Structure 1
Amino acid sequence: MIVLWCIFIIFFGFFASKLPTVLSGNGFEYDGSYMRTQAILEEEFNQNQSSILFIFEKENKISQAEFENYIEDTLVRIDLDANSGTILSPLGQKEMMKENIAYAVLSYEDKPENIGKEIRSLSSSLEEKPGFNVEMTGGPVIEEDLNVASQKDLAKAEMIALPIALIILLLAFGSLVAAGIPLLIGIVSIVSTMGIMYFFSYQMNLTIFILNIVPMIGLALSIDFALLFIDRFREEVRKASIKEAIEITLATAGRSIVFSGLCVFIGLLGLMFIEIDIFRNVALGGMTVVFVSVLSALTFLPAVLSLIGKNINKYSILKVASVRSPLWRRFATFVMNRPVIMVLVTLVLLITALLPVKDMNLVVPGADALPTSYDSRVAYDKYKMNFVEKNKSEDVKAVVILESNGEILDEDNLIKAESMLSSITESDDVVSVESPFTLSGIDNAEDFYLTLQQPEGKSSLAPIIDNFTSSEMMLSYVYFEDEKSAQQWVKEWEKKDTDLTLHLGGVPKFEQEIFDEIVEKAPYGFAFIVITTFFILLVAFRSLLIPLKAIMMNILSLAATFGIVVWIFQGGHFGMEPVSLALILPIFVFSIVFSLSMDYEVFLISRIHENYLKSGDNDSATLEGLTATSKIITSAAAIMIVVTGAFAFTGVMPVKQLGVGIALAIFIDATIVRMILVPAFMKMLGDWNWWFFHTKKPKKATAK
């Protein structure tokens, strides 16, 4: 078994190193109107898919002539390295140049994810010169930097998490051997999964966030599984042979790992309902790492333990008591003696924490996801500040393409187009419309048509005709006061019956489709997760009330988590700059944490259930189960918090928010839920905890 795993790790480890080279974009791609309109812009209006901006700056002491010479020389070097890209220079373009700052545009027909080599080559063309500065930005450059930032964040998170995880494992086991094995299993699971994900890149586009999500889930989960397995093995090997100890451990802890892994797998599978690349990427990566983690815990780990055997406690550097600490028993007894009061106090705390949820503001991550230390982010902010008017921003600009039957420049079609554009201009929330009519200053369709019939008029309108019309199509831009009104407008107008066929695009349409897809599909995913988890726990514990209780406590604790995350990030607490939450946050945290917290529920209830089947005494089984698993589950939760919380110290904002959200949810689950709610509810419900149709109650053990 170990030989097979070594071959498996070497093979997929080789491809794991190649995974970053096939990742691209933030994963927010959806096959809808936006994508179709983008295709029309490219095919009919020759608007390239990828644009790189070069932001030029000069110091005040530099003359304008010197500045223009510097720009021209730089663009000549860029043109040599552009590899079929077309350059729009700011020289002679007043709107592209101000006193000390200017920008140029390099456009490619290829998609952003396919020009990574060109971006790296172009960066070497940017010569540093005293008094001058030039920086690259734009979508492709920001995506490339996000990929770099994600890799750096992963390394940083591992540097924080792994040493602390080792310390926690040493405190749990005391032995270097026992503490090192879970880390080994975690690394094996992550590396193997990364290699497997490389092969998925041939079938689908993979987002750069895979680099953060897979290690975040895989390391935490595989260490937890190994921790539970090794703890039970150490307990059994004291009183049985190595072979018997492994058999018992597989039958008990192994069973818990299977059900726990199944819950996490189902939680991630629920993301597949949302037909957006990033959700399906994370679901695929997460499910793969869960499968590999369970497989390694049930095959590789027992094989390693069978070789190590009783040497599992070798190289002990800390003395760990073999007798379970009575502290948890005392606390559980304290809670179980006052169950109603404990539940009420806990509910007040959780409800108070969830109140800020009402103010949650979700956005699609953009350039602001990149740390401000990156030049592309700084340059993008300069571009927006100097060259983009508030109501001319891409965020509030909708693309409107009118398609006719026959030539769009025919008089009848021009009249229809002018009528539609007039209606659009009069719409609520529309600030302005940019169309062939407004750009030419000819508002009347008949006059526009007559002008086109005259040679001089046709010549004067040629630049507008070339850029804003195709054979059967007319391009226009509609500007709005804010993003929300823009999204609502494109949604309403897409449903309208109009004289000409309407194609809508731009950032407002993109974000509206993303939001609507999530709002429409996420409830189905959540329902699938909740219902499936209920039946898994029903089968695992032969109980109706325990699954219901676990699900309700999970939902309540997750709501409290979202409230705290809103308070931290949107409220700007703990030194944070106020920032909106990434749209992915509530979906991912729910799907991942709902199932991860079931991890501990399965571990804990499995031990309580095991004791109940022996004794038939609910209160005694609860106390014994909590006492037996308290230390190991606390250690597992601490590792989960450390591994996910380490991403809070990274720079990519959605990953930072995700790390904080998952760590907070696990903390609430491991403290308030497990320390207070579980024993309180177990006491209140008594033997009803284990009621399941016609299941007979075990007989209580009697003293001899």
Structure 2
Amino acid sequence: MSDATTTTAGPASRAGGPPDAPDGRLQRVLRRFAHALVGHPKLVVAAWAVLIAACTPLATGLTDVLTDQGASKVVPGTSSARADARIKESFPHRSEREVVVVVQGTDVRTPQVRGLLADLDTRIAGLRRDGEVERSSSAFTVYRDTTAGFLTGVRERVRERATTEAARRAAVDAEVRRGAIPTALAGPAEEAAAADDDAAVTAVAARFARQTDWSAFPLDVPKELVDRLVAPDGRAALASVSYTDKAGSDPDVEWLRDTARTLSERAGAGVEVHVTGELALIHDTYEKAESDNALMESVAYVIIFVVLLFFFRALVPAVLTLAVVGLSMNVSQAALNLLGREVTLTQFTVTIMQFVMLGAGVDYSMLLSSRYRQERLAGRGPKEAAVHATVHAGESMVLAAVAVVLAFGATLLSPVDWIPPLGYGGLLGIPIVLAAALTLTPCLLALLGDRFFALGRSPLADLERHGAMARHLRRTAEFARRRRAAIVVLFLVATVPFALLVSGNRSTSDPVALSPATDSRAGYETVADTWGDAAVLPTIVTGRAADGVLDDGRPTPGGLAAVARLTETLAATDGVSSVDSLSHPFGSRWSADRLTAAGTGVTEDYASPDGALRFVVALKDDPYSEAAARTVQRLDTVLARDGAAVGTLNLGGATQVDLQYGAALRSSFWRMVLLVSLGVFVMLVITLRSLLVPVRLIATIMLSNVLAIGLTVLIFACWRGEAIIDDLPIFLTVLMMGLGMDYEIFLVTRVRDLIRSGLDQDEATMEAVVDTGRVINAAGLVMAGSLGTMALSSTLMLREYGAGLGLAVLLDATVIRMLFVPASLMLLRKYNWWLPPLPGRRRRTAAPSAGG
């Protein structure tokens, strides 16, 4: 197909726009820009080639700057944030960096499993020496340390009385005969007496703990402590590993998992291991999301390619459009790599960026190349048509991209650290894909001319105004004209039940409910079934002790009594199952003598040398349930009334974080929506010279969002019984404030151009629906296909994002844009373009201008 192909189907006023229509300010800038592009197309293409080549090394290294842990959902300045900081400072071994190894089997008290736990502790000892692990504990370490403590005492006594090896053996034998040393420990006691240092004594104790049946252990080990580490039925055992900051933001959970699995294979058939905990859950979720990306991307590309083939009815434009977007992703990934060295980025950052860029970039290229075809149908030459397409479609593209950037930019103002990483991708990706669509696509059109549409079936026919789609759009526009008021009222009324459904639904930030089926989730479920949810996701009360409560990390008599009173008050609170504390280390009161005899191995979880206290509250209900939330609120009241006598205490833990995170999201939601709405409103008022069009556009986006979020709640919560992620309403609404703009902007700017050509509001609206309906529907399918493929993810968060965004785009591009928007435009008629006269400027309401 050559550039000489001449088409005359359709008058200029219906296809390419009136040639003598005055340009607005933005259009004048775009016209100069387009002339420069088509004047040097090869130079522009070469510049992009150099840029892409330069960015490739950075793009391939993007994964190096991503974190598998993401950002915290703890809201700065809240009680949970203060509690979290205190735990990290005073009880680092009980922070969110504690990972739990779960061992399952028919009986975990066998010699094989004892050996597994002993070998695991030996492997982890290397990380402790390197400073990457604070400590590790298991039933094995409890029995070992108890034995080591006993043998150390024997060694000290014996070495005080005897100086020769023979005398020491005799002293040990004497203590065995007296009953001071259990007979089973006679041999280890002799070895300990001969040991050179404490490390050698610990090695002796480790061998004994490994070889001895724990159910008949000769020393007194607190049963309550063992029951926290070995299930009463003997089918599960726990080992905890607490990582330090030296291990980095992404501790090597996979090394721990691989090590435990290797040891479990040695232990024999029937022994399974899982690695769980908050750190492991988040790590596995990100790993799973990354592995899902290849499938989602492949499906998205197939869907988009098929839509492009049907839209263009030619192979070359479909391939070139995807190539332009794909190459721009290379540049955006390089930019993300540089940004990731300064801020926290996750795999979700990349996922959101890729699918938003894919949908928006293809939309932009479709709008521009579709407008080029209309300009060719109006009789303009290829280069002139490329300029006109860039001017008119480019205006819609720029306005839509600015709206998306405003939306993603608003996420950076979120008070919680979790949201901004999701916004960085769009904030970088959209300007880059817009730049590619506004430069590469016009240059390709200028270089190839009509060959851009090669390998197709009549691709330069008037596809917008002829055929089944055009007839359907005319009938739709006529229906909207005749039933304008009824359609507007119907849509508004239909939104009400969805709004009520969304407002009444409880969302959550539960990392377990939102995680896919992973090893860490299987481990969590085992722990929860055996020891309860609080074993992994407890409620924590912590803070600095009041004067006189602790003395160098040990309780004073009065301090212990005060801690006991507060513990019993907390435990008596409705909804609380039990409370562990310095006075009640395992939920029941211990005397001061018993605590002293137990040593720091028991008390170090509840009192720190720097003068801090820690209480662990087990709730009766699911930590993320409404009942648990009410219990935590009651605990807040108790602490406000009685906590000061013990110390400056803060309430934290899973339930409190969820409550405060949800409250922060709700408060920031309206601030972000207001900010984006204000930015979009000002931009559109200046560009479209109207007050009502921007207001109605923003209201229309909100209507689409309510419907889409409501449908998502119906699908996931009501039908599938799954949790709704806290972030969904805010992320979907703010994102759609940007992504949903381009379809209406394209439609409204077309209406404006037709009004400027002399048509009245009804005629211009109906013609615009026909002129833009095909490309808007196709663009909507592209965007929904791109974003909707996230619903294929195994991660619930991405599934809900994908479903919500896909539904919102489909609703927006079809029934909203084809029915509600035309009906409301024709209902308001001339008031669409009303704007109070500005000082020094005359206002024309009948012929709105194209720019500010």
TM-score, normalising length: structure 2: 0.75
1:4 matched residue in structure 2: 47
Residues 282, 511 of structure 2: 8 Å contact kept: no
Greater Cα offset, 257-266 or 133-142: 133-142
1:107 matched residue in structure 2: 242
- Give SS of 2:584's match: helix
Residue of 452, 459, 467 corresponding to 2:605: 467
Residue of 98, 117, 140 corresponding to 1:51: 98
Residue of 695, 698, 702 corresponding to 1:551: 698
Q: Summarize deviations over 1:51-91 as a string: whole Å, max 9, x none.
A: 2322222357x983444344444554565678653432333
2:308 matched residue in structure 1: 169
1:157 matched residue in structure 2: 296
1:589 matched residue in structure 2: 732
2:529 matched residue in structure 1: 385
Q: Which amino acid aligns with 1:47?
A: H
1:24 matched residue in structure 2: 68
Whether 1:218 aligns to 2:357 is yes
- Give SS of 1:209's match: helix
Go from structure 1 to structure 2 and tell me whether the alpha carbon gap of 1:111 and 1:667 turns closer, same or farther (over 3 Å shift).
farther
**How many angstroms apart in 1 are the aligned matches of 2:792 and 2:524?**
24
Whether 1:563 aligns to 2:701 is no
Whether 1:294 aligns to 2:434 is yes
- Give SS of 2:76's match: coil
1:37 matched residue in structure 2: 83
Go from structure 1 to structure 2 and tell me whether the alpha carbon gap of 1:462 and 1:155 turns closer, same or farther (over 3 Å shift).
closer
- Give SS of 1:476's match: strand
- Give SS of 1:232's match: helix
1:178 matched residue in structure 2: 317
**How many angstroms apart in 2 are the aligned matches of 1:201 and 1:493?**
43
**How many angstroms apart in 1 are the aligned matches of 2:537 and 2:781?**
41
**How many angstroms apart in 2 are the aligned matches of 1:548 and 1:583?**
27
The answer for unaligned runs of 5 or more in structure 2 is: 1-43, 144-225, 622-627, 838-842
Aligned residues: 684
**How many angstroms apart in 2 are the aligned matches of 1:465 and 1:654?**
39
Go from structure 1 to structure 2 and tell me whether the alpha carbon gap of 1:168 and 1:610 turns closer, same or farther (over 3 Å shift).
same
**How many angstroms apart in 1 are the aligned matches of 2:258 and 2:54?**
34
Go from structure 1 to structure 2 and tell me whether the alpha carbon gap of 1:9 and 1:31 turns closer, same or farther (over 3 Å shift).
farther
Residues 371, 653 of structure 1: 8 Å contact kept: yes
Residues 332, 429 of structure 2: 8 Å contact kept: yes
Residues 562, 586 of structure 1: 8 Å contact kept: yes
Shift in Å, 1:402: 4.1
Whether 1:484 aligns to 2:629 is yes
Residues 527, 535 of structure 2: 8 Å contact kept: no
Greater Cα offset, 581-590 or 63-72: 63-72
Shift in Å, 1:490: 6.1
Q: Which amino acid aligns with 2:525?
A: D
Residues 595, 603 of structure 2: 8 Å contact kept: no
**How many angstroms apart in 1 are the aligned matches of 2:688 and 2:728?**
31
Greater Cα offset, 463-472 or 611-620: 463-472
Q: Which amino acid aligns with 1:371?
A: P
1:404 matched residue in structure 2: 546
**How many angstroms apart in 2 are the aligned matches of 1:219 and 1:66?**
53
Residue of 622, 642, 663 corresponding to 2:785: 642
**How many angstroms apart in 1 are the aligned matches of 2:810 and 2:772?**
17
2:473 matched residue in structure 1: 328
Q: Which amino acid aligns with 2:545?
A: E
**How many angstroms apart in 1 are the aligned matches of 2:54 and 2:578?**
58
**How many angstroms apart in 1 are the aligned matches of 2:106 and 2:754?**
76
Q: Summarize deviations over 1:451-484 as a string: whole Å, max 9, x none.
A: 57xxx87445654444322342222223333431
Shift in Å, 1:292: 1.1
Whether 1:241 aligns to 2:381 is yes
Amino-acid identity (%)? 23
Residue of 507, 516, 520 corresponding to 1:362: 507
- Where do 4+ consecutive residues of structure 1 move more than 6 Å? 440-444, 493-497
Greater Cα offset, 457-466 or 147-156: 457-466
- Give SS of 2:578's match: strand
- Give SS of 2:516's match: coil
Shift in Å, 1:116: 4.4
Residues 328, 630 of structure 1: 8 Å contact kept: yes
**How many angstroms apart in 2 are the aligned matches of 1:90 and 1:598?**
60
Shift in Å, 1:332: 0.4
Residues 57, 102 of structure 1: 8 Å contact kept: yes
Go from structure 1 to structure 2 and tell me whether the alpha carbon gap of 1:369 and 1:2 turns closer, same or farther (over 3 Å shift).
same
Whether 1:516 aligns to 2:561 is no
Whether 1:309 aligns to 2:473 is no
Residues 648, 657 of structure 1: 8 Å contact kept: yes
- Give SS of 1:87's match: strand
Go from structure 1 to structure 2 and tell me whether the alpha carbon gap of 1:440 and 1:329 turns closer, same or farther (over 3 Å shift).
closer
**How many angstroms apart in 1 are the aligned matches of 2:639 and 2:334?**
43
Shift in Å, 1:237: 3.6
Q: Looking at CA atoms only, which structure, 1 or 2, has the larger radius of gyration?
A: 2
Go from structure 1 to structure 2 and tell me whether the alpha carbon gap of 1:549 and 1:619 turns closer, same or farther (over 3 Å shift).
same
- Give SS of 1:540's match: helix
Residues 227, 636 of structure 1: 8 Å contact kept: yes
Shift in Å, 1:158: 0.9
Q: Which amino acid aligns with 2:254?
A: I
Residues 16, 198 of structure 1: 8 Å contact kept: yes
The answer for unaligned runs of 5 or more in structure 1 is: none
- Give SS of 1:534's match: helix
**How many angstroms apart in 2 are the aligned matches of 1:652 and 1:366?**
11
**How many angstroms apart in 2 are the aligned matches of 1:581 and 1:23?**
24
Greater Cα offset, 106-115 or 659-668: 106-115
1:624 matched residue in structure 2: 767
Q: How does 1:570-609 map to 2 (within 5 A)?
A: 570-572=717-719, 576=720, 578-609=721-752
Q: Which amino acid aligns with 1:404?
A: A
2:58 matched residue in structure 1: 15
1:138 matched residue in structure 2: 277
Residue of 500, 513, 516 corresponding to 1:371: 516
**How many angstroms apart in 1 are the aligned matches of 2:109 and 2:585?**
34
**How many angstroms apart in 2 are the aligned matches of 1:441 and 1:338?**
69
Residue of 251, 254, 269 corresponding to 1:119: 254
- Give SS of 1:505's match: strand
**How many angstroms apart in 1 are the aligned matches of 2:789 and 2:657?**
32
TM-score, normalising length: structure 1: 0.89
- Give SS of 1:512's match: helix
Q: How does 1:416-495 map to 2 (within 5 A)?
A: 417-418=563-564, 420-421=566-567, 423-439=569-585, 451=592, 458-460=596-598, 462-470=600-608, 471-482=610-621, 483-489=628-634
Shift in Å, 1:681: 1.3
Q: Summarize deviations over 1:330-356 as a string: whole Å, max 9, x none.
A: 220122012123233333443344442
Residue of 136, 139, 142 corresponding to 1:87: 136
- Give SS of 2:644's match: coil
Q: Summarize deviations over 1:588-639 as a string: whole Å, max 9, x none.
A: 1001112211111101101111111111411111111111111111100011
Greater Cα offset, 297-306 or 281-290: 297-306
**How many angstroms apart in 1 are the aligned matches of 2:847 and 2:349?**
51
Shift in Å, 1:420: 4.5
**How many angstroms apart in 1 are the aligned matches of 2:277 and 2:565?**
36
Q: CA RMSD in A?
A: 2.9
Residues 189, 219 of structure 1: 8 Å contact kept: no
- Give SS of 2:102's match: strand
Shift in Å, 1:39: 3.6
